[in-house]
């Protein structure tokens, strides 16, 4: 059975059908890329899956559990974490704190524990810090050392994207949803991030769904590619299959002129 | 990985000359200063302060505050522009003094104009403070034609002095300014120093410094104070930073011993403060402590969790009224008459319930909407307490009286001096809670929620719990304030729990520094202690708050003692490329554009 199984998912904003009867599945351990032209409904798809928006119709089943109707924090609790297309860190918190927040759902200490400094609270606090540093060490020297105590707002663009991934990793997810992880990166950073996505799977065994425009990245990391256009699934298959599919080329490049609109 | 790193080659960069002091800015500031001086006269501040002498017989308080303005504006007008990358540091010289003097003279001329207006027309029908007495004060008793040049001259000299401050090198500048500040403190707070020297049986010091108990400084006293403090700060030089470094360099064990020692000394001093200062000052300190307690609570709600609560006074009222109902024999409906101490757990429960009641309807609200709704709640609380409908329970406008004093074991707290200690204890408790929670799981959750609520929720934070808990913690801290207030005053009335309390508490944390405990403490001192100590000021308290808020928002939006993160947040862009372009924009770019491209 698939880890994530979506059937008949629909969402309209006023008259615009952003997602229209979408069926998608993701198997455990897979890396699935979602591609499509601008406005195809990719980010809306992520928002629906993570509970940040409520679908009009359809069902989203994650690990045997229906997600529709759950709050975003409950969905995260089940083991799904995301990043955002327009990086959304907690700007006035330090790098380390951003990652520590990620473990909120996996820890239990309450306010009274903090006020009375109970042994269990102190132990947990230590563990949160250690685990956060461990997660940051996944990014090599990029987010190490003195960077831990820097506010996330002072980071470079590429580092902010890395930190967002680190924050998502800290939530101990099974499924990672990455929204355009290479957007705005230079070619070298893009290559580095492609490798990183590979390592996320090989070293950490995450199942990954990513939205991506850079076809090099899509080709290098994905097992399967799903193509969206106007809220419906155009086609899916391996990179080679979809890269030669006429419908896909048409959706990206437009119809030939003689066929009319 | 070993890498050969080239030694950095010192690059000789030719620095551009710094921008010259802008005289147009001095003119602008001089006119603004003039408007401010006229306003200070027109609202009656000068005339109201005049009877009080600061330094007998040469400096009455009214004149002092009037001519403080040209000093400030002269200082600002001659402030050298910031040193930017690639530019020489600005040179100081006669131009600074000139700019200060220019600003001062312009300000003085505005006052001269006011003098002509007052003496020519009688405007007291509208501006009741534009009286002949005011004319007498600002003209130094001279005829108008002679007075105007004198005013302009005095203001010009004061402005020039303000400008001249920039010419001093750091050490004498700091010594001069600190010494002047101390002389001012000694002249403003004569009561306190009177009490202090009295308690230390140093009557001869009072006799030398002041014209009498509670009187003004004598000229000789002022000069001696200036000399003593100048010498002290000159000697101090940079020693305190060396001392701080030395303390930091100490091994942890020794350092903590030093810190404990310092804490003990501070506690001992604090123990004697109310005894030496007497009931008047102690009452002010108790009031300030209750405000501080509320400010620390609101700091958690607004500063950490980012929930702008404008009805915070409601929780203060809940604390005060639940103590009143539980302890007073006069409580109309239900009067168990337990002791104040025993009421505290019930007060906490009542406050927690109130916090949940307020927070529940606003769970899905953000920012401005939340502020408006909480503002409404604050008013609803006051109106309900005042209503005839609930008078059988809360006593309506008559309130509840006969609230007993706080009693802990055999000790009864009755005078303001006694109440200083429990208030201090609760403030310490609130400060501790603030620190403990700050670096904890929920503290981080609150901050994340403040930064971006939807992302915080997507990262696994239960927004409902986070908001409720922030409101509840804030409510409980405010309710402690209410309990102390009720038992100290002995009665509670609805009109006490006015919106003004909410606003004052909010101003304390904004001015002090949101999210920072030392900042909030300083905010409470500046906004509650100072205006109450200076009785002349009390009429102008809200004017003072307003001016302070505007100046702070323009010059130091992060507050007096900001938390590290807010300081960084608000000044991240400073002196960056944008600032560079803004100041040197056209000129800088013109030089860069190669010829022939335009």
* Interaxial angle between packed helices B499-512 and B252-298, expressed in degrees from 0 to 180 and rounded to the nearest 10: 150
- Give per-residue pLDDT as tens, B306-316: 999 999 999 99
Inter-chain CB proximity A114 and B444 less than 8 Å: no
Distance from CA of A47 to the nearest CA of B (A): 10
Q: Is the CB of A151 inside 8 Å of chain B's CB atoms?
A: yes
Range with the poorest average pLDDT among A248-257, B85-94, B186-195, B420-429 = A248-257
The predicted structure's pLDDT at residue A224: 94
**Least CB-CB distance to B452: which of A90, A106, A124?**
A90
> CA of B573: which chain A residue's CA is closest?
A154
- Give per-residue pLDDT as tens, B173-201: 999 999 999 999 999 888 888 888 888 88
Opening angle at CA A20, ends A15 and A23, nearest 5: 165
| Cβ-defined contacts of B169-172 (< 8 Å, 24+) | B171/B234, B171/B237, B171/B238, B172/B234
Distance from CA of A239 to the nearest CA of B (A): 30
**Least CB-CB distance to A151: which of B445, B459, B565?**
B565
Residue B588 has pLDDT above 90, yes or no: no
**DSSP state at residue A93:** S
The predicted structure's pLDDT at residue B580: 43
The predicted structure's pLDDT at residue B594: 41
What does the pLDDT average to over A71-79? 95
Residue B239 has pLDDT above 70, yes or no: yes
Positive/negative CA dihedral, A124, A128, A133, A138: positive
Residues B290, B406: Cα–Cα separation, whole Å: 15
Inter-chain CB proximity B441 and A109 less than 8 Å: yes
- Give per-residue pLDDT as tens, B458-503: 999 999 999 999 999 999 999 999 999 999 999 999 999 999 999 9
How many C-beta atoms lie closer than 10 Å to residue B389's C-beta? 10
Distance from CA of A237 to the nearest CA of B (A): 30
> CA of B451: which chain A residue's CA is closest?
A90
Pick from B15-29, B428-442, B534-548 the range whose average pLDDT is largest.
B428-442
Residue A22 bridge partners (DSSP): A9
Residue B12 has pLDDT above 70, yes or no: no
Cβ contacts of A81 on chain B, cutoff 8 Å: 459-460
* Positions of E strands within B153-230: 217-218
Q: Which domains, and CATH codes, for chain B?
A: 23-167 (no CATH), 279-563 (1.10.3470)
- Give per-residue pLDDT as tens, B61-79: 999 999 999 999 999 998 8
Reading across the β-sheet that carries B59-60, which strands appear in turn? B59-60, B53-56, B217-218
Q: Per CATH, which fold does A4-259 belong to?
A: Rossmann fold (3.40.50)
Read off the tokens for B68. 């403080």
The predicted structure's pLDDT at residue B2: 45
Inter-chain CB proximity A114 and B456 less than 8 Å: no
- Give per-residue pLDDT as tens, B126-183: 888 888 889 999 999 899 899 999 999 999 999 999 999 988 888 889 999 999 999 9
Mutation target for A interface from B433, B448, B460, B473: give the one with most A CBs within 10 A: B460
What does the pLDDT average to over B318-340? 91
Segments in B415-498 forming alpha helices (H): 416-438, 441-451, 453-458, 463-489
Residues A21, B586: Cα–Cα separation, whole Å: 56
For B170, phi and psi rounded to 5 degrees?
A: -50, -45
Inter-chain CB proximity B460 and A77 less than 8 Å: yes
Inter-chain CB proximity B461 and A105 less than 8 Å: yes
- Give per-residue pLDDT as tens, B534-581: 877 888 888 888 989 998 888 888 888 887 776 766 665 443 444 444
Inter-chain CB proximity A73 and B463 less than 8 Å: yes
The predicted structure's pLDDT at residue B11: 58
Q: Is the CB of A88 inside 8 Å of chain B's CB atoms?
A: yes
Cβ contacts of A107 on chain B, cutoff 8 Å: 441
Segments in B17-143 forming alpha helices (H): 23-42, 45-49, 61-77, 94-120, 132-138
Greatest Cα pair distance, chain B, in angstroms, is 91
- Give per-residue pLDDT as tens, A91-136: 989 999 999 999 999 999 999 999 999 999 999 999 999 999 999 9
The predicted structure's pLDDT at residue B322: 95
**Least CB-CB distance to A97: which of B433, B444, B457?**
B444
The predicted structure's pLDDT at residue B7: 54
The predicted structure's pLDDT at residue B581: 44
Inter-chain CB proximity B460 and A109 less than 8 Å: no
For residue B330, name the pLDDT band (cuts at 50, 70, 90): confident
Higher pLDDT, B241 or A225: A225
Mutation target for A interface from B458, B469, B570: give the one with most A CBs within 10 A: B458
What does the pLDDT average to over A33-62? 93
Residue B586 has pLDDT above 90, yes or no: no
Residue B53 bridge partners (DSSP): B60
Read off the tokens for B152. 């302009």
Inter-chain CB proximity A154 and B445 less than 8 Å: no
Inter-chain CB proximity B460 and A167 less than 8 Å: no
- Give per-residue pLDDT as tens, B507-520: 999 999 888 899 99
Residues A112, B442: Cα–Cα separation, whole Å: 10
Range with the poorest average pLDDT among A30-34, A191-195, B77-81 = B77-81
Percent of chain A scoring above 70 in pLDDT: 96
Distance from CA of B451 to the nearest CA of A (A): 5
The predicted structure's pLDDT at residue A94: 92
> CA of B572: which chain A residue's CA is closest?
A154
Inter-chain CB proximity B451 and A91 less than 8 Å: yes
What does the pLDDT average to over B366-392? 91
Non-local (6+) Cβ contacts of A100 within 8 A are: A128, A129, A132, A170, B444
> CA of B463: which chain A residue's CA is closest?
A73
Read off the tokens for B29. 């500031």
Q: Is the CB of A83 inside 8 Å of chain B's CB atoms?
A: no
The predicted structure's pLDDT at residue B536: 78
> CA of A168: which chain B residue's CA is closest?
B459
Inter-chain CB proximity A114 and B445 less than 8 Å: no
How many C-beta atoms lie closer than 10 Å to residue B544's C-beta? 17
Rg (CA), chain A: 20
The predicted structure's pLDDT at residue B230: 94
Inter-chain CB proximity B442 and A125 less than 8 Å: no
Residues B312, B355: Cα–Cα separation, whole Å: 10
How many C-beta atoms lie closer than 10 Å to residue B284's C-beta? 19
**Cβ pairs bridging A and B (under 8 Å):** 111
pTM of the model: 0.87
What does the pLDDT average to over A162-170? 95
Cβ contacts of A127 on chain B, cutoff 8 Å: none
Give the start-to-end residue ranges of the domains of chain A.
Answer: 4-259
The predicted structure's pLDDT at residue A256: 61
Higher pLDDT, B62 or B21: B62
For residue B245, name the pLDDT band (cuts at 50, 70, 90): confident
What does the pLDDT average to over B383-389? 93
Helix (H) or strand (E) holding A236: strand A232-237
Distance from CA of A91 to the nearest CA of B (A): 7
């Amino acid at each position: 059975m698939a880890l994530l199984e979506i059937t008949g998912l629909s969402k309209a904003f006023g008259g615009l059908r952003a997602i229209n009867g979408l069926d998608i599945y993701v198997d455990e351990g897979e890396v699935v890329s979602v591609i499509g032209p601008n406005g195809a409904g990719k980010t809306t798809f992520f928002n629906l899956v993570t509970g940040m928006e409520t679908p009009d119709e359809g069902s989203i089943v994650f690990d045997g559990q229906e997600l529709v109707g759950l709050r975003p924090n409950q969905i995260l609790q089940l083991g799904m974490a995301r990043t955002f297309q327009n990086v959304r860190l907690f700007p006035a918190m330090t790098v380390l704190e951003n990652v520590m927040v990620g473990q909120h759902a996996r820890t239990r200490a309450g306010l009274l524990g903090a006020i009375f400094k109970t042994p269990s609270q102190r132990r947990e606090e230590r563990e949160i810090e250690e685990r956060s540093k461990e997660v940051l060490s996944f990014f090599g020297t990029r987010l190490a050392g003195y960077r831990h105590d820097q506010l996330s707002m002072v980071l470079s663009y590429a580092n902010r994207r890395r930190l967002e991934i680190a924050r998502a990793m800290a939530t101990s997810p099974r499924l990672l949803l990455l929204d355009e992880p290479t957007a705005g990166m230079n070619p070298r950073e893009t290559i580095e991030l492609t490798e990183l996505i590979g390592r996320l799977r090989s070293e950490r065994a995450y199942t990954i769904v990513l939205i991506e425009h850079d076809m090099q990245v899509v080709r290098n990391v994905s097992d399967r590619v799903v193509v969206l256009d106007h809220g419906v699934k155009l086609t899916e298959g391996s990179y080679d299959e979809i890269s030669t599919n006429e419908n896909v080329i048409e959706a990206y490049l437009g119809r030939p002129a003689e066929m009319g609109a | 990985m070993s890498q050969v790193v080239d030694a950095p080659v010192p690059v000789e960069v030719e620095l551009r000359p710094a921008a010259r002091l802008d005289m147009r800015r001095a003119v602008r500031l001089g006119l603004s200063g003039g408007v401010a001086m006229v306003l200070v006269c027109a609202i009656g501040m000068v005339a109201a302060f005049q009877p009080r002498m600061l330094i007998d017989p040469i400096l009455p308080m009214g004149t002092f505050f009037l001519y403080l303005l040209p000093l400030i504006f002269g200082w600002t007008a001659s402030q050298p522009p910031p040193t930017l990358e690639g530019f020489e540091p600005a040179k100081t010289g006669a131009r600074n003094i000139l700019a200060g003097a220019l600003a001062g003279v312009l300000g003085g001329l505005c006052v001269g104009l006011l003098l002509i207006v007052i003496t020519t027309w009688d405007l007291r029908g509208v501006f009741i403070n534009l009286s002949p007495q005011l004319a007498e004060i600002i003209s130094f008793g001279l005829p108008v034609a002679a007075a105007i040049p004198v005013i302009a001259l005095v203001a010009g000299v004061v402005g020039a002095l303000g400008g001249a401050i920039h010419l001093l090198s750091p050490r004498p500048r700091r010594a001069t300014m600190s010494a002047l500040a101390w002389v001012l403190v000694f002249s403003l707070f004569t009561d306190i120093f009177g009490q202090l020297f009295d308690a230390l049986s140093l009557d001869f010091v009072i006799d030398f410094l002041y014209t009498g108990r509670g009187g003004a400084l004598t000229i000789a006293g002022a000069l001696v104070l200036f000399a003593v403090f100048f010498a002290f700060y000159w000697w101090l030089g940079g020693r305190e930073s060396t001392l701080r470094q030395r303390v930091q360099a100490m091994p942890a064990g020794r350092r903590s011993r030093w810190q404990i020692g310092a804490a003990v000394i501070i506690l001992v001093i604090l123990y004697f403060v109310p005894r030496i200062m007497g009931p008047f000052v102690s009452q002010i300190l108790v009031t300030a402590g209750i405000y501080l307690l509320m400010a620390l609570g609101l700091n958690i709600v607004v500063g950490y969790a980012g929930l702008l609560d404008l009805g915070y006074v409601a929780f203060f009222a809940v604390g005060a009224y639940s103590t009143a109902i539980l302890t007073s024999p006069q409580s109309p409906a239900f009067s168990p008459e337990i002791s104040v101490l025993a009421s505290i757990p019930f007060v906490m429960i009542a406050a927690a319930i109130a916090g949940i009641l307020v927070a529940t309807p606003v769970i899905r609200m953000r920012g401005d909407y939340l502020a408006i709704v909480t503002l409404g709640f604050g008013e609803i609380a006051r109106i309900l307490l005042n209503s005839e409908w609930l008078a059988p329970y809360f006593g309506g406008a008559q309130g509840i009286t006969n609230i007993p004093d706080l009693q802990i074991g055999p000790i009864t707290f009755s005078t303001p001096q006694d109440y200083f200690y429990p208030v201090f204890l609760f403030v310490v408790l609130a400060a501790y809670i603030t620190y403990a929670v700050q670096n904890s799981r929920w503290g981080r959750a609150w901050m994340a929620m403040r930064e971006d609520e939807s992302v915080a929720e997507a990262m696994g934070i239960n927004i409902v719990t986070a908001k409720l808990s922030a409101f509840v913690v804030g409510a409980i801290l405010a309710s402690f304030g209410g309990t102390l207030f009720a038992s100290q005053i002995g009665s509670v009335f609805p009109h006490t729990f006015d919106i003004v309390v909410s606003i004052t508490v909010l101003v304390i944390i904004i001015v002090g520094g949101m999210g920072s405990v030392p900042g909030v403490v300083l905010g409470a001192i500046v906004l509650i202690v100072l205006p109450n100590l200076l009785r002349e000021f009390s009429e102008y308290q809200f004017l003072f708050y307003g001016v302070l808020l505007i100046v702070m928002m323009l010059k130091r939006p992060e507050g007096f003692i900001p938390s590290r993160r807010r300081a960084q947040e608000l000044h991240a862009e400073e002196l960056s490329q944008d600032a560079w372009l803004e100041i040197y924009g056209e000129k800088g770019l013109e030089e860069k554009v190669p010829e022939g491209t335009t």
